[in-house]
Structure 1
């Protein structure tokens, strides 16, 4: 039976519990980090995700005066890395840098794993994005996206296009382009951009859709002709490359990286990492190194990062279902 004393004390007890929890979280963050921090990425060594992780990790290591240990957990469409990150202690000493495909495609590809990127992780901040490029071999005699669309409509299904593995952002970008332009091209999956680019230059395929950073060397050497970028506006460093949106209004697609931690990580640590990450992204060294890969930093608050991730899932869900991942979608 509840007494009047119990009724009076209960609100006070709740307030005390909140204060104790907050104090404990702040105490954990005050000395953070006091040991090396692990950073999990789904990319293989020297891949785009790995390079981004190392550039950002080096700057955070310099600021924190603690080593950042990069863990390359490759395979199974990013699920190996996600499972490692989920199983880690939620103490701020294991961070996770997923590529966009982990949020957008992986839950559909591996529904049995029951990985929910929104519920299982807390966003620490947004890192960077990289627009896609639609490119062709010079020998195709196509000089614009409009000409490519026209050629594809004249010969439905006859043009082959390369994109990274099925379900990656380059692949999804190409599928969305096909849908919105009303064209039919045949997808040839490649395990990496280098193999697709080699076949394009060799004349075995006609079109490639990949991250701009991956194709920079081929563009600069003249072995690849860029027709359009997938950013909403023309890029400052590449003003002569039109956007897809100039032909298909509103079209925008970028590969991106965010930094997250296991759900339950103390909020004080989450906010500290967000502040330090944003400061790292604003450093000239990080901007220049990522800029050389055509990768654009985008510092965000934790709330804005969470909102961005939700929006990206909503934008790409129809495309993911259209190409048929997972169980009966």
Structure 2
């Protein structure tokens, strides 16, 4: 009836209708209120700068190589990759910084051959090399070479070994330090051939080079890149590379394995991340490095810095690290090598 009072059900309906609309409005506004936060949470990696820990001071070859890789990756990712130099304790300080960082993909670390040597050389490491760090990629390798003072009456490895056998203990070699890959692979050669060549460790390659050029020590274990200019100037002469085979970049220099099979080593430069870093991020970085080293322009820039490009997968790099740990452990124990 037109004049009748509204029923109880109608009143309830009228009272609830505004609340229903308000509830719907609130639900509609929720995405707007939380939209920016939700978008940030789902942003693809990387959405802010990445830190790259480098285990040596600015200016050295590894620093230059690391900065080049960081710059190139930054261009691919459209985010800055900021170099953070943390030298000290035979690369342990830098690697520990990476191991203790948040595993979010925003802290990465450059590691070198000492990464696989330190577990045996330094048994009290503040991190577990295999558990606390994830291999991403071996970026490249540097070639280790035996060079000599030009006055040494030996021009190849066979002649050096004959000279050492003729007068055991008289011949000596310099290295950049005890426990370095340069030192250990020479000790491996000595153990396989039975020769006695005395080790003279230095604190770095530069002073070792000076004494070999000056005639105080006849032989030097070095990287080819560090000795290249001196070789070309005639101040040092090449004896043999320790690479498994003659590298395409140095086809005219013989390798040790041509004279003594199964004695080889290269100085490795790779990239790692804290354990727990998302697997998708690890795969992305590894893929970007592999793709980059296949680019001639980038590969050529690495070569000019003494690094032969590799660009391995995380699995391949993990195998390299584990293999090197097993390879160097008995050499370190047999020689009694200690950390400088």
TM tier, smaller:
0.7 to 0.9
Task: List aligned pairs for 1:179-328, cutoff 5 A.
Answer: 179-325=191-337
Question: Deviation at 1:286?
Answer: 2.4
Residue 87 in structure 1 maps to residue 100 in structure 2: yes
- Name the CA distance, whole Å, in 2 between partners of 1:204 and 1:29: 62
Name the CA shift for 1:28/1:269 in 2 (closer, same or farther; >3 Å): farther
In structure 2, what is the Cα distance between the partners aligned to 1:204 and 1:326?
24
1:39 to 34, 41, 52: 52
Distance 2:192 2:258 in 1: 13
Q: Mark the CA change 1:214 to 1:326 in structure 2 (over 3 Å): closer, same or farther.
A: closer
> How far does residue 318 in structure 1 lie from its aligned partner after superposition?
1.3
Q: 1:325 deviation in Å?
A: 4.8
Q: 1:117 to 1:29 in 2, by over 3 A?
A: farther
Q: Which runs of 5+ in 1 are unaligned?
A: 1-26
1:19-54 superposed Cα distances (whole Å, 9 cap, x missing partner): xxxxxxxx9785211111111121221222212101
- Corresponding residue for 1:48? 61
In structure 1, the partner of 2:111 is 98
Partner of 1:108: 120
Q: Which has the larger radius of gyration?
A: 2
1:124 aligns with 2:147: no
Partner of residue 62 from structure 1, selected from 65, 72, 75: 75
Counterpart in the other structure of 1:15: none
Deviations 1:244-287 (A, max 9, x none): 00110122110001211000001111111111121222222321
SS at structure 2 position matched to 1:98: strand
| Partner of residue 75, structure 1 | 88
Contact 1:44–1:50 (Cα < 8 Å) also in 2: yes
Q: What runs of 5+ residues in structure 2 fail to find an aligned partner?
A: 1-39
**Which residue pairs with 2:159 in the alignment?**
147
Aligned-pair distance for 1:99?
0.6
Conserved? CA contact 1:29–1:268, under 8 Å:
no
TM-score normalised by the chain length of structure 1: 0.87
Task: Please say if residues 107 and 115 of structure 1, whose CA atoms lie closer than 8 Å, have aligned partners that are also in contact.
Answer: no
Q: Which moved more, 1:182-191 or 1:252-261?
A: 182-191
